[in-house]
Amino acid sequence: MDRVVPFSGVYIDSTGSFLPGPPIDNAAMDRFVAPLNRMSSRIKRRILAENGIATRHYAIDEQGTTRFSVTAMAAAAVRDCAAKVRDEPVGLLASATSGADLLLPGLANQVQAELGWAPLTTASHHGVCASGMQALADAARAVDRGEHAAAMVVASESPSRLFKCTRFAPGDYDLDFDAHFLRWMLSDAAGAWRVSDRPPSDRVSLKLHFVHSRSHAGDYPLCMQMGLPHGGGSGWLDHPNAAAAERAGALLLRQDIRLLPHLFDVGIHAYADLVRAGAVDPAGIDHFLCHYSSARFRGVVRECLERAELAIPEQRWFTNLGRRGNTGAASIFVMLDDFLTERAVRPGEKILLFVPESGRFTVSFALLEVVAPGAERGESVLVQRVAEPALDLDAPPPPHDPAAIDAASKPELAGLLLELAGVWSDFRSRAWRSGPVRRIVAGRFRQQDYLRWMEDWIPQVREGTRWMRTAMTNLTERYAALAVLIEDHADDEQDDYQILFADYRRAGGHIDDLEALRRNPGGEALNAFLHARAEQPDAVGLLGAIYIIEGSGQRLIPALLPLIRRQLAELGPVFRFLHYHGENDMAHLARWLRAVELVLDNAEDKQMVMDDIIRTARRTAELYLMQLEDAA
């Protein structure tokens, strides 16, 4: 991971916000963002039942007229923030938004003009939810380097203007769920924080330890966008004129909700990296402010954190989603302002901010510490806290995670999962950037690509049962229970390659003898490595190989399969194995988890076994990636 470099002396000494108009409840939404047809009303009820939002604010009136511009809301939030510090001047104004009032110039310049501020440095950040955190990071670095004594950071959003009925062409809308979804999710607000190089003498402030933001745009398909029509095609500027772009639906805001679970997979692995690097201690977090777009995802985040003993007890969480709604880049700014207004904080308490962004999967974290009035620059007051046990809450495991475990009572297992999370995170990123996967994501995956992929993959799947059975016969009595689990797993997968070969033949594969299929060089290397390991006595390190191989089916295939089907629809039902693989590898990973527990319970040297599992996982990942690249 990138290095986490702490700031030496940066403080948030004031916060402010602006919510346009009165709160709008779910019943009153239709006066502002009306359903378009009967199907639209059904989807609205379903989404509102899941997202947990009871009220929100709109910057438009009931006729769709804009009452508060993005610029005006940002200026109002800045004034609210600045008023709490006697309007002391700043040297830098950094802004963030998904959509400003003008295409150019940048929002920061527009806000400066609205405020009538004297000449200063500006920085405008354009993006989705994480753009506000990136604006904060830039401002904090400038203050920390001594370029400015203070900076103002503001995020402002007004997506309601995109959701008026008049923006949707009649007739085409029923097929465009991705555009419909966000109409019931997003609302308007602005928030501002003042960043300074010293804590104030008359009030509590927040020391900013670090901001860590990473984009995974090279790893996953586009998830949330505005500028392309439904199903892809020409961008909005490539149409003959703006009216043509509007008719094509290129100016609608869309989100591919099928990809959203993978955002939390990315986010939680990034969080695990921070814990492993020593930048975050979960037991030392007193308050957790997480920007999730829907209450439905709260359980996903919580369940993921409870893996590998990374949980922050839920009584330490704070959210204002239910009454403020999802306001994009402004959400975390308004949330912190509400938190400081409603909660009493004590010097030394730590606050962790988490902002996942679905645009092209960016995850951002910031660590704050409450500082007493008058503390010297760089000084912080620490309070020793006793870690509270993680809550035992029943939420279904997300589609990218193994079955539930009692990590608190199994510290060795928790540590192993934390290390494997790092191995998987690196493998997943590189797999998404491999040749075949990039062609799938780019929409350039053709019949010959699918056939070549299958010709390499079928022999690997066939050999899987063989090396597992070899490993099973070489287990000593110590691991007798593990042998039973491996036998069950091998039985499950014994005939999988036959399904895959049948799919290959239906798709036009010209090789009619399965025995004639040969792995590519990477596949040969992977097969040789796995068989050689299986020949060794008590080769329990192969559980690391299974973690990578089964995880690929359960975490990567479900995201790729819809893209492959769309590009190869003319081939018909030739994806039975891919569908089965994605559906069943969840159960396979649950079985894997039981196998690991059995091994750790019976191992004579637990650390040596865990090191072997991790080492084997790394080597399997490297060879698996070689097989993918050789299939290009």
- Percentage above 90 pLDDT, the chain: 43
Could you tell me the CATH number of the domain that includes residue 280? 3.40.47.10
Look at residue 486 and tell me if it is in a domain: yes
119 and 70 in one domain?
A: yes
Look at residue 396 and tell me if it is in a domain: no
pLDDT digits (tens, 9 = 90+) for 553-571: 777 887 788 888 889 989 8
- Asked if 384 and 572 count as a contact pair (C-beta separation under 8 A), the reply is no
Give the H/E segment covering residue 11.
Answer: strand 11-18
Would you mind telling me the total number of residues written for the chain in this entry?
632
Give burial (CB, 10 Å; 0-12/13-18/19+) of 65. Answer: exposed
pLDDT digits (tens, 9 = 90+) for 158-184: 999 998 877 776 555 555 677 777 888
Kindly give, in sequence order, each residue whose CB lies less than 8 Å from that of residue 217, ignoring residues fewer than 6 positions away: 360, 361, 362
pLDDT digits (tens, 9 = 90+) for 119-139: 999 999 999 999 999 999 999
277 and 191 in one domain?
A: yes
Of the residues 325, 344, 371, the one at which a domain ends: 371
> Binning pLDDT at 50, 70 and 90, where does residue 399 land?
very low
Give burial (CB, 10 Å; 0-12/13-18/19+) of 257. Answer: middle
Of the residues 320, 350, 371, the one at which a domain ends: 371
Instruction: State pTM to two decimals.
Output: 0.76
- CA 487 to chain CA centroid, Å, is 36
Most confident of 397-401, 465-469, 591-595: 465-469
pLDDT digits (tens, 9 = 90+) for 480-491: 888 888 877 676
| DSSP letter string, 261-312 | HHHHHHHHHHHHHHHHTTS--GGG-SEEEE--SSTHHHHHHHHHHHGGG---
433 and 347 in one domain?
A: no
Give the pLDDT confidence score for residue 387 in this predicted structure: 33
Look at residue 304 and tell me if it is in a domain: yes
Give the pLDDT confidence score for residue 403 in this predicted structure: 36
- β-strands 205-215, 317-318 pairing: unpaired
Instruction: Look over the chain and give the mean of its residue pLDDT values, rounded to a whole number.
Output: 84
Most confident of 20-29, 81-90, 508-517: 20-29
Range(s) of the domain holding residue 300 = 11-221+256-371
162 and 25 in one domain?
A: yes
Give the pLDDT confidence score for residue 404 in this predicted structure: 38
Of the residues 322, 349, 371, the one at which a domain ends: 371
Could you tell me the CATH number of the domain that includes residue 463? 1.20.910.10
Pick the more confident residue, 567 or 298: 567
- What's the structural domain count of the chain? 2
Looking at 57-112, which runs of residues are DSSP E strands?
Answer: 92-97
Tell me what the mean pLDDT of segment 80-106 comes to: 91
Q: Of 270, 310, 538, give the one whose Cα is nearest residue 411.
A: 310
108 and 164 in one domain?
A: yes
429 and 311 in one domain?
A: no
Look at residue 624 and tell me if it is in a domain: yes
Q: CA 432, CA 106: separation in Å to the nearest integer?
A: 33
State whether residue 130 is helix, strand or coil.
coil
- β-strands 92-97, 150-157 pairing: parallel
Measure Cα distances from 462 to 455, 459, 505, 515, 518 in Å. Answer: 12, 5, 16, 10, 11
456 and 337 in one domain?
A: no
Instruction: Decide if pLDDT at 587 tops 70.
Output: no
Q: Mean pLDDT lowest for which of 134-138, 326-330, 402-406, 494-498?
A: 402-406
Give the pLDDT confidence score for residue 325 in this predicted structure: 93
Cis geometry, peptide bond prior to residue 23 (ω within 30 degrees of 0):
no
419 and 360 in one domain?
A: no
Give the pLDDT confidence score for residue 174 in this predicted structure: 54
Instruction: Report the first-to-last Cα separation within the chain, whole angstroms.
Output: 27
> Binning pLDDT at 50, 70 and 90, where does residue 94 land?
very high
Look at residue 390 and tell me if it is in a domain: no
Q: CA 300, CA 309: separation in Å to the nearest integer?
A: 15
Instruction: Decide if pLDDT at 496 tops 60.
Output: yes
Kindly give, in sequence order, each residue whose CB lies less than 8 Å from that of residue 34, ignoring residues fewer than 6 positions away: 165
| Helices within 84-203 (DSSP H only) | 107-115, 131-144, 177-181
Give the pLDDT confidence score for residue 492 in this predicted structure: 65
91 and 26 in one domain?
A: yes
Q: 576-602 and 480-493 are packed helices; what angle lies between their axes, rounded to 10 degrees? A: 180
> Binning pLDDT at 50, 70 and 90, where does residue 248 land?
confident
DSSP 391: P
> Binning pLDDT at 50, 70 and 90, where does residue 147 land?
very high
Tell me what the mean pLDDT of segment 295-313 comes to: 64
363 and 426 in one domain?
A: no
> Binning pLDDT at 50, 70 and 90, where does residue 296 land?
low
Look at residue 383 and tell me if it is in a domain: no
pLDDT digits (tens, 9 = 90+) for 206-241: 999 999 999 988 888 888 888 888 777 888 889 999
Look at residue 377 and tell me if it is in a domain: no
Give the pLDDT confidence score for residue 160 in this predicted structure: 94
Give the pLDDT confidence score for residue 218 in this predicted structure: 83
Look at residue 469 and tell me if it is in a domain: yes
Instruction: Decide if pLDDT at 407 tops 60.
Output: no
119 and 187 in one domain?
A: yes
Tell me what the mean pLDDT of segment 94-113 comes to: 95
Instruction: Decide if pLDDT at 386 tops 50.
Output: no
Kindly give, in sequence order, each residue whose CB lies less than 8 Å from that of residue 105, ignoring residues fewer than 6 positions away: 124
Measure Cα distances from 226 to 68, 178, 201, 310, 500 in Å. Answer: 22, 11, 45, 35, 38
268 and 199 in one domain?
A: yes
Instruction: Decide if pLDDT at 50 tops 50.
Output: yes
